[in-house]
Structure 1
């Protein structure tokens, strides 16, 4: 015990050895403490032994007028008390019975309990009078720590290694392992409560960031600062996708085909959902274009399809700003073209910051919550699903799901009164803006708008026509434009195509005089054929050279194979359902003004002022 490092011995403090002042340079080993004189010479000393023999003092003996020790912040009164306690300990009797009575008298004298008095005695025997200075250190209280720095550092290091990791131990296991670490180092372990308090003192942000990552911590703890403020409808619109947590059935066989995706578009000012799209395909610009088309134009066909009143969804108009995440379908050439043609500003949220799209994220959560009440839901995770049999309880096909979601959006979400809107519903906020004189902006040209939502490629004219996505297209007008080209200066022409109906494409005249239809060669189909079906048929023709070169017949052969496979295979059923859905949408669009994807707009149903050309 005599060689234990004294608590009063610290780096940088001053000592007087035999009347000479020294500065403590290294006190890690009390038996070999490095001291330095004022002249810079260094030597090693056993400070504990020297102090016990009275050869080391903490103040200059000549300074009898003051006994204050600055390094330990001990006052003259405290030093006098320490000396009195030391004198009482020196006078303790050695007989067992008398020792107990003497210790009881000291407890009453100094108003401490037996364990505290025993600790004082132990410190005095180990370090002399300075060992009694420890009782004067200000410890405890709110936010105060009583452990020495070394012990505290060990606890914090172990907590960081065991608890603040992606695969954390439980709190009880962390406490057990920390105490085991101290025991292995022959150090007295801190109490269970001490370690538990250190863990409880960690901030929620620190724990979430270490265990689940900064993104999760930000999502759970972020307080919205209303980053998006709009003073009128369509000033800012947000768009996003999400998978639908629901197992769907095929419409004919009523067998499982998997999940769908939904694309939502929402107005920030009124919170009204402007448009949506539900499809089996993975989100792409096609999903975005379908949702945009529905958001921008009136909803008569949608309302009629789902048996809703004519005035149930009165929103329409071009947005001023479109806010989205950084997905490729929002940051590609096609989206740039749409925004340029329709004078829509693009804005992206910072990568990894969902809170910047808080309005659309909130709407998506509301849709997901409603879907979780439907039979066949998969819920958001395995824990939430429990032992629920999603596939066994599936009862809904794609069209039925669309009907459910559309009717819920129109009748519930858009009509629900909200505190953040001053007690008004999203539709009431929209109507309020109309009553105050605001009017939505419409596209200046139907054809320009339709083409802005269609994908396009730039291709040269050859003697065989135009090659578009690996398929040959031809028309008499192509000869005219090829004849006007100079040799070795072949131009590229813009070709728009509809992914839902590839039978024809739109050839844009380079002089701006108009647009001509070009037809797909080697196709005898009378009905629409999608790009997915066309590519699949081409692959089949290349794999089986003996098959007919007619792409439509190849497609029919593949369809027959898929129909047989659909009875057993979920992927085949999903492909068939997706193709049937694409065909029905292409046929529905073709029945309106224009042809194929991006059509179906009825300008006659709009107010007179909405049909005027916007020259601003």
Structure 2
């Protein structure tokens, strides 16, 4: 520990002036002289801020940097003990240029060094540094002193600055460049180890930034503090998407299809998975809506619809804040308005700062580690997968994978989490446990279908003579007759099922469900409808009607049925539609006993009256006559 030596001749800094101590006047008064003005002043010891060194930071020997004070933590115990013994003996002789014969004999005998060494130790002794000033010096050059030619040193630094950049940067490449440039300049090239040492002496964070970018450098070296932690459940949940590291098979031929996507939500305080949504489709606004509604609502009925009767999933409730990244489906005005309607604050992760979503990222990593044990896993990278044939070993259908995933989530909830030192289920239950031993519960949304509809994608439309037109498709219900043409409304829809929309007219509080105005139209997805429409537009420059598009969709469905065993893409599209329309585990599918539009019904044929009606008519005519 550095100490200020208050004695005659010491240079000090006090009262914003550089002073030299002249004399001690009393126990509380010191006389000093201002170095710059020569003025004599009187100060107290408490006014001294620090002691100034008489010499500069460099010694006069060849411009070699003076040795910096050594940190006591970096000194081994043996050297520290030796220095302490030396200081205890020599400190009483500090300031003396010569020692008596008796004192010298005492010092040499005790320290077991020569007289010359005693004088060298006395010259190094510094009362401010204490025993650290007498640490044994290591042989060799001081740190920072180089012996190669200055021009060669400049070449090394220039080459590092110029060529050490990009993912392919290596020490070997820099060494080759330095040697090549030195030979061109007729300079003696330094050795490879010398060049490697110069690279290692550079700031590692700056080198990593040049090689892998500033993001990687921040990930490795940045100190991350100042976290705002929630204090109760549902105060903060994080939502993100992930592509599952496993290939599923179709339900008919059990041939490999694709990797599903999962949108998942975690409560940061308790670490419980409040909800998730699995799909074969790419993440969208609908995926977010289904995940949020699944997170908010109780899940007992949903578990039974998925074929799980004994499952335990007691987590639900409206969160105070949802934290997401900057993906397009999260940045929509529709999502922010829907969250605001339910009193939810929507916040976004700063760009380029993935650690702000560390809880959801770690959860996804944990679940994918479980997925890697399944047949058909793709692992997290091609390197980790090695020679494993994922498609060859794929075995689970989408519904089977979902059932497995639900059970793994339950296992996760009942396993001790290192971040909270207990299981997420125990943490959740403990938060809602009352002092009397009973339990309190989060409030339940009464209109559960309304909640889901409120988070669906939306468009603004007006009531027309034919009803509501969305995506160039007409929708109608007799309920619309009570509204005037031109009435403005909000239309919500499911991109995976266009046969229904939900309309909220201006001034109304409840949605109206509408179906196709033309009941002969088949059910389809928005993506399939747009693909068919674009195909027709490319063949014709005129306006394309919805009827023509649906006609093309019917032809495509026949083509898919014929080619389903040969084309993975065709099987994928068929499985997506099948899961959306027929899957009892989907929130919008309650109990489906048959398709919405049976293929056996031909609505273009004129209906035939029942025979009983003809008989009744004949009886009535006979009576009248």
TM-score greater than 0.5 by the shorter chain: yes
User: Match for residue 444 of structure 2?
Assistant: 442
1:453 match: 455
- Give the 3-state SS of the residue equivalent to 2:352 in structure 1: coil
| Match of residue 480 from structure 2 | 478
**Which residue of 500, 505, 515 maps to 1:519?**
515
Partner of 1:210 in structure 2? Answer: 210
- CA shift, 1:553, in A, is 6.5
Which residue matches 2:60?
Answer: 73
Distance apart, 1:212 and its partner CA = 1.6
Q: State the distance in 1 between where 2:384 and 2:204 align.
A: 23
The CA distance in 2 between the partners of 1:347 and 1:530, in whole Å, is 31
Separation in 1 of the partners of 2:160 and 2:177?
A: 10
2: distance between equivalents of 1:243 and 1:283?
Answer: 9
Q: In the alignment, is the contact (CA less than 8 A) between 1:501 and 1:586 conserved in 2? A: no
Matched with 1:425 is 423
Using the TM superposition, name which of 423-432 and 531-540 deviates more.
531-540
After TM superposition, list the pairs within 5 Å mapping 1:230-245 onto structure 2.
Answer: 230-245=230-245
Q: Does 1:569 align with 2:567?
A: yes
Distance 1:345 1:72, change over 3 A: closer
Q: Shift of the alpha carbon at 1:536?
A: 5.4
Question: What TM-score, normalized to structure 2?
Answer: 0.66
Distance in 1 (CA, whole Å) between partners of 2:589 and 2:250 is 25
CA contact (8 A) 1:533 1:579 kept: no
Deviations 1:135-182 (A, max 9, x none): xxx9932344444554323212212333333321x3234323312321
Distance across 2 between alignment mates of 1:343 and 1:248: 38
For residue 467 of structure 1, what is the aligned residue in structure 2? Answer: 469
Asked if structure 2 preserves the Cα contact closer than 8 Å seen for 1:505 and 1:519, the reply is: yes
Q: 2:203 & 2:389 partners in 1: Cα distance?
A: 39
TM-superposed deviation, 1:72:
9.6
| Whole-angstrom CA distance in 1 between matches of 2:430 and 2:262 | 29
**Mapped contact 2:493–2:502 kept (Cα < 8 A):** yes
Deviation of residue 581 (structure 1)?
0.8
Which residue number corresponds to residue 304 of structure 1? Answer: 304
Q: Which residue of 1 aligns with 2:501?
A: 505
Q: Is the 8 A contact 2:325 2:349 kept in 1?
A: yes
SS, match of residue 429 in structure 1: helix
In structure 2, relative to structure 1, the CA distance for the partners of 1:144 and 1:273 (3 Å cut) is farther
Please give the alpha-carbon distance, in whole angstroms, between the structure 2 residues aligned to 1:152 and 1:588: 69
Q: Give 1:219's aligned residue.
A: 219
Question: 1:90-105 alignment to 2 at 5 Å?
Answer: none
1:605 is aligned to none
Match of 1:557 in 2: 555
- Give me the whole-angstrom Cα distance separating, in 2, the residues matched to 1:331 and 1:74: 65
Q: Equivalents in 2 of 1:523, 1:552: separation in Å?
A: 12
For residue 355 of structure 2, what is the aligned residue in structure 1?
355
CA RMSD of aligned residues (A): 3.3
Deviations 1:452-493 (A, max 9, x none): 12222111222222211210112334343226xxxxxx4422
1:414 aligns with 2:417: no
Aligned length: 453
**Comparing 313-322 and 386-395, the one that deviates more:** 386-395
Give the TM-score taking structure 1 as reference length: 0.67
Aligned to 1:324: 324
Cα distance, 1:177–1:533 mapped onto 2, change above 3 Å:
closer
Structure 2: segments with no counterpart, 5+ residues: 1-57, 63-138, 593-625
Larger mean Cα displacement after TM superposition, 431-440 or 283-292: 431-440
Q: Does the 8 Å CA contact 2:580/2:586 hold for their aligned counterparts? A: no
In structure 1, distance between residues paired with 2:230 and 2:190: 56
Deviation at 1:592, TM superposition (A): 4.2
Mapped partners of 1:221, 1:473: distance in 2: 58
CA distance in 1, matches of 2:362, 2:144: 39
Q: CA 1:162–1:451 in 2, change beyond 3 Å: closer, same or farther?
A: same
Q: Is the 8 A contact 2:323 2:346 kept in 1?
A: yes
Change (3 A) 1:233 1:144: farther
Tell me if the contact between 1:522 and 1:550 (Cα under 8 Å) persists in the aligned partners: no
Instruction: Tell me if the contact between 1:321 and 1:346 (Cα under 8 Å) persists in the aligned partners.
Output: yes
Q: Secondary structure at the match of 2:257?
A: strand
After superposition, the Cα gap between the structure-2 partners of 1:148 and 1:558, relative to the gap in structure 1 and judged at 3 Å, is: same
Q: Which moved more, 1:245-254 or 1:218-227?
A: 218-227
Residues 430 and 182 of structure 1, relative CA distance in 2, 3 Å threshold: same
Closer, same or farther: CA 153–581 of 1 in aligned 2, 3 Å: same
Answer yes or no: is the 8 Å Cα contact 1:504–1:518 preserved in 2: yes
Report the CA distance between 1:273 and its aligned residue.
1.1
User: Aligned runs of 1:12-23 on 2, under 5 Å?
Assistant: none
1:161 maps to 162
Conserved? CA contact 2:501–2:514, under 8 Å: yes
Q: Could you say what secondary structure the match of 1:573 adopts?
A: helix
Please give the alpha-carbon distance, in whole angstroms, between the structure 2 residues aligned to 1:433 and 1:144: 62
Q: Which residue of 2 aligns with 1:152?
A: 153
SS in 2 for 1:73: coil
> Is the alpha carbon distance of 1:221 and 1:258 closer, same or farther for their aligned partners in structure 2, counting shifts above 3 Å?
farther
- 1:531 maps to what in 2? 526
- Pairwise CA distance, 1:196: 1.4
Structure 1 residues 548 and 315 mapped into 2: Cα distance closer, same or farther (>3 Å)?
A: closer
What residue is the counterpart of 2:379 in the other structure? 379
Does residue 397 in structure 1 map to residue 397 in structure 2? yes
1:182-331 mapped onto 2 (5 Å cutoff): 182-222=182-222, 224-225=224-225, 227-305=227-305, 308=308, 310=310, 312-331=312-331
State the partner residue of 1:177.
Answer: 177
**Aligned residue number for residue 95 of structure 2:** none
SS at match of 1:142: coil
